[in-house]
Structure 1
Amino acid sequence: MTERETWATRLGFILAAVGSAVGLGNIWQFPFKTGTNGGAAFVFVYLLAALLIGLPAILGEFVVGRRANINAVEAFERLKHPAWTVVGALGLLTGLWILSYYSVVGGWVIRYIFGSATGAYFGDAAGYFASVSAGWEAIGLHAVFMAVTAGIVAFGVEDGIEKATKLMVPSIVVMLVGLAIYAFTLDGSTAAYSYYLSPDFEYLANNLGSVVPFAVSQAFFSLSLGMGAMITYASYLGDDDSLPADGSLVVVLNTAVGLLAGLVVIPLLFVQFGGVPDAAAGGGAGALFVSVAQVFADLGTAGQALGAVFFAVVLIAALSSAISLLEVVTSYVVDNYGYSRPATAFGFAGSLFVLGTLAAWNTAWLTWFDTLAYSVLLPLSVLLGVVFVGWVYGPQAVDEIKKGTSGGETFATAWLWSIRTYVLVGVFVTLYLGVTDIYAAPPIPGL
């Protein structure tokens, strides 16, 4: 059995966890989920969901990971609850499912970096997306993105993931801040900030049933919950680390990056279109690429440079999340079977590449993959994890969360109460609404 790795530094763990959370969910989906759900009204509910549901849930995954000190699948058996191994297995499968089509979108991002630098999409942004988003070119770039992801994971926790995310996460923040400052200088951005930052509570009251489940699901997706990633990353932690402090930092930093992405995208769209365009607001797979690309196209030469920087940010964010998803299954195989890390990482990457060719060949498949993950797999996985931590492992979970935390008794008691009550209810309602939505409108109309 190979000796298990650990994080070299606490900062490495925090940045890796933030890197897992800060991904396409924040930059690809968040601005357009905001646009179709009332702007600041959605942002307001999302912030509440991230704090009140996302933080307790992520701490639950941290507890399982550090207590077991092993991968997400075997964690529950080591905690002497083998029947609950289904939670870790579902998280692993959910992460792999997401990565299979996530990699396709990562390939699009690579293409758009070059398309921005050369101005290739400036003449027809919609036509350009249609030509590169599906078919052989999309499959080839899907392979490139998956290979880069596997290469980083193959180097291991300290030499691969930790070093990569220490570079990636600060780079994402610096470049997004720069783009947000640029967006602030544009004429007409004032209306965007009002739409994005001033909640319309009347709209929220009239649309609570649609806004809330979208916001909670967005919190799950953007925080990498229900995928086994946070259990796996926490399994490399020592007992002297404060889980509440680390979890709070991860949630705050991830949420800040999501808000930053909105401060870039929403003003650009308002300046160009006077609002979030209908096509983008629909939340389709190409929303970010078509609408934002059109903004850069209309800026001429300056748009080439800005577009290249923007899509470079998106690529870094996508990679930081992708490596966490591949690490879950890699950790499981290396822990249990002693296979080499490089062979395992590239072997699973190859299998996921094959599965993802469906999404690369036809974007209708990608939409179906995403809808199933977002509406069913993620909330189901989170729900089972919350039930386990709150109602099966409660006393031991409280003991674990107090480690490394001064005076943590009051916090631990309040945290367990939240997991057992409103967090559980919120996740269940989100799952119920997601299942009923899929049943009412099957998401494969183009096939």
Structure 2
Amino acid sequence: MDKLRGGFSSRLGFILAAAGSAVGLGNIWGFPTQTASNGGAAFVLVYLVLAFCLAYPAFMAELLIGRYGQANAVTSMQKMSRTLWQKRFAFIVGFGGIICAALILSFYGILAGWMMSYAIEPITSVLGFNETSSWLTSQSMMRNLIFTGLFMLLTVAIISRGVEDGIEKWSKRLMPMLIGLLILLIIYVFTLEGAEEGFAAYLKPDISRVFEPDLLISALGQAFFSLSLGTSVMIIYGSYISKTENLVSLGAQVTLIDVSIAFLAGLLIIPSMYVAQYQGVAIFSDDGSLISGPNLVFDVLPTLFNSMGSIGLFVALGFFVLMTIAALTSSISMLEGPVSFAVERHNVERKKATVLVGLGIFILSTIIILNFDELFGLVISLSTVYGQPLIAMLCCVFVGWIWQRSQILKELKQGDDMVEHSFFWKIWPWYTKFVCPSAIAIVFFHSL
């Protein structure tokens, strides 16, 4: 490991950092919304199967690229290449992932800013600052600019400190807080009227729906998105892993934590929806579709919290602090991709690179805020619907078709001498070569 680059000091540090990258608003906000819109428990069942059968193999491909290359996404993929066209192709794929991460962070910072403002609102309400409370929960340009800027400053401050003192240290602090808050809120919601119906909808699948094409496509897309695939994030995190670590078990542990927290998030949000419905809040339309859709967190849940009386202020505070933490664990990983490229390819000092890249992304966020109706949805679609599946698919193509099988095995054996005889090695190369690219291509072309 190049000491100038830094790296994760422990196995736990990597697991929490990688899980933190994967666990974000996509899991705690997007997953429950997808679940409510796609058959409840049937969607959960399909998601869990696809996360391990398809997303995990693709996740392993990106980790392997990073640890083999010991560099940023572009350099790592070029080290795998043997010809000029392969190196050019590697640059397009690696740099495409970096651009994708920057685009995601540009709208992600706006969403995270909303979470921060909603987290402060209960405090201003208790203090009697009613006008401030109203401003914090209104869709105003000034509020969006201020809180997006604050969130980006927080992200830049962590990344500027490097891998061990920045990413790893804060992941070890934030992830236990996130899991603890999530479990406490689930326990509280479990005590409320209406929650039982929500738990039933979430945990009892209608098996007849699991083969619906739209449900399968949505679950597959969510599985890839939740693991941060196609953004260069896992390639750069893989480059910080010690050569002696067992990548197969590490990847499995991160995947398990990711889907577990997504499952816990659904265990909180879905019953909360039914509690709100029990209290008179409209959740579903006459045809059974979800009314609020992507705005579920900001439309339905505040209404639920308000109906709880004074205790609702504390529950709202806990929930939106949880959402802010989830956003931060992902944003630090998305900023690391472009920063590592600037540091290693252009010899820019880390703190300077972090500030410059962070400022550039904030400027992009500002442009989106100033043209919100035209750009917000467009940037989300470009990055998550089109960019991520395409880049993730090309990473699998690289590992399956361009990288030599003997080199892959050599890389894996550094952390596990017996991996050649494992079930993983008998299945994974074939999976990565044929099944994963095909599955991601289905998601991509369906989105078109």
TM-score, length basis structure 1:
0.91
Q: What's 2:319 paired with?
A: 310
Q: What code does the residue aligned with 2:209 have?
A: Y
Q: What's 2:80 paired with?
A: 79
Residues 32-43 of structure 1 mapped to structure 2, 5 A cutoff? 32-43=33-44
Q: CA deviation at 1:336?
A: 2.1
Residues 80-95 of structure 1 mapped to structure 2, 5 A cutoff? 80=81, 81-83=86-88, 84-95=90-101
Measured at CA, do residues 419 and 24 of structure 1 come closer, stay the same or move farther in structure 2, by a change above 3 Å? Answer: same
Residue-by-residue CA offset, 1:37-74 (whole Å, 9 max, x unaligned): 11011111111121111100110001100000001121
Residue-by-residue CA offset, 1:333-374 (whole Å, 9 max, x unaligned): 111222111111111111111111233342553222212222
Instruction: Say if 1:33 and 1:283, in contact at 8 Å, map to a contact too.
Output: no
Q: What's 1:337 paired with?
A: 346
Q: What's 2:9 paired with?
A: 8
Q: Higher mean Cα deviation, 384-393 or 63-72? A: 384-393
Residues 279-428 of structure 1 mapped to structure 2, 5 A cutoff? 281=290, 284-361=293-370, 362-363=372-373, 365-395=375-405, 396-409=407-420, 410=422, 411-428=424-441
Residue-by-residue CA offset, 1:371-421 (whole Å, 9 max, x unaligned): 222221110011111111111115022332233125211322311111122
Instruction: Say if 2:276 and 2:301, in contact at 8 Å, map to a contact too.
Output: no
Q: What's 2:238 paired with?
A: 234
Aligned equivalents of 2:182 and 2:432: distance in 1? 34
Q: CA deviation at 1:290?
A: 1.3
Q: Higher mean Cα deviation, 71-80 or 226-235? A: 71-80
Instruction: Say if 2:283 and 2:292, in contact at 8 Å, map to a contact too.
Output: no
Residue-by-residue CA offset, 1:145-168 (whole Å, 9 max, x unaligned): 111101100011011111000001
Aligned equivalents of 1:283 and 1:56: distance in 2? 34
Measured at CA, do residues 364 and 40 of structure 1 come closer, stay the same or move farther in structure 2, by a change above 3 Å? Answer: farther
Aligned equivalents of 2:334 and 2:291: distance in 1? 27
Q: What's 1:156 paired with?
A: 162
Measured at CA, do residues 141 and 382 of structure 1 come closer, stay the same or move farther in structure 2, by a change above 3 Å? Answer: same
CA RMSD for the aligned pairs? 2.2
Aligned equivalents of 1:130 and 1:112: distance in 2? 6
| Alignment length (residue pairs) | 429
Aligned equivalents of 1:191 and 1:340: distance in 2? 55
Measured at CA, do residues 45 and 276 of structure 1 come closer, stay the same or move farther in structure 2, by a change above 3 Å? Answer: farther
Q: What code does the residue aligned with 1:140 have?
A: I
Gaps of 5+ in 2: none
TM-score, length basis structure 2:
0.91
Instruction: Say if 2:121 and 2:136, in contact at 8 Å, map to a contact too.
Output: no
Q: Higher mean Cα deviation, 24-33 or 283-292? A: 283-292
Q: 2:176 aligns with which of 163, 170, 173?
A: 170
Residues 172-321 of structure 1 mapped to structure 2, 5 A cutoff? 172-205=178-211, 208-274=212-278, 277-278=283-284, 281=290, 284-321=293-330
Q: What's 1:431 paired with?
A: 444
Residues 69-148 of structure 1 mapped to structure 2, 5 A cutoff? 69-80=70-81, 81-83=86-88, 84-119=90-125, 132-148=138-154
Aligned equivalents of 1:187 and 1:227: distance in 2? 41
Instruction: Say if 2:178 and 2:325, in contact at 8 Å, map to a contact too.
Output: yes
Question: In the alignment, is residue 20 of structure 1 matched against residue 29 of structure 2?
Answer: no
Aligned equivalents of 2:404 and 2:175: distance in 1? 33
Measured at CA, do residues 282 and 346 of structure 1 come closer, stay the same or move farther in structure 2, by a change above 3 Å? Answer: farther
Q: CA deviation at 1:287?
A: 2.0
Q: What's 2:61 paired with?
A: 60
Aligned equivalents of 1:185 and 1:161: distance in 2? 36
Aligned equivalents of 2:192 and 2:271: distance in 1? 8
Q: CA deviation at 1:278?
A: 3.8
Q: Higher mean Cα deviation, 262-271 or 75-84? A: 75-84
Q: Higher mean Cα deviation, 111-120 or 58-67? A: 111-120
Instruction: Say if 1:401 and 1:412, in contact at 8 Å, map to a contact too.
Output: no
Aligned equivalents of 1:56 and 1:283: distance in 2? 34
**3-state SS, counterpart of residue 74 of structure 2:** coil
Residue-by-residue CA offset, 1:116-140 (whole Å, 9 max, x unaligned): 33349x9x9xx96996334121011
Q: What code does the residue aligned with 1:412 have?
A: W
Aligned equivalents of 1:100 and 1:129: distance in 2? 23
Measured at CA, do residues 393 and 142 of structure 1 come closer, stay the same or move farther in structure 2, by a change above 3 Å? Answer: same
Instruction: Say if 2:385 and 2:447, in contact at 8 Å, map to a contact too.
Output: yes
Residue-by-residue CA offset, 1:272-316 (whole Å, 9 max, x unaligned): 115982489356442211111111111111010011011101101
Measured at CA, do residues 174 and 300 of structure 1 come closer, stay the same or move farther in structure 2, by a change above 3 Å? Answer: same
Aligned equivalents of 2:54 and 2:134: distance in 1? 39
Instruction: Say if 1:23 and 1:317, in contact at 8 Å, map to a contact too.
Output: yes
Residue-by-residue CA offset, 1:203-231 (whole Å, 9 max, x unaligned): 334xx221111111111211111100000
Aligned equivalents of 1:227 and 1:180: distance in 2? 31
Q: CA deviation at 1:2?
A: 8.6
Identity %, equivalent residues? 33
Q: What code does the residue aligned with 1:34 have?
A: T
Instruction: Say if 1:142 and 1:360, in contact at 8 Å, map to a contact too.
Output: no
Aligned equivalents of 1:217 and 1:134: distance in 2? 32
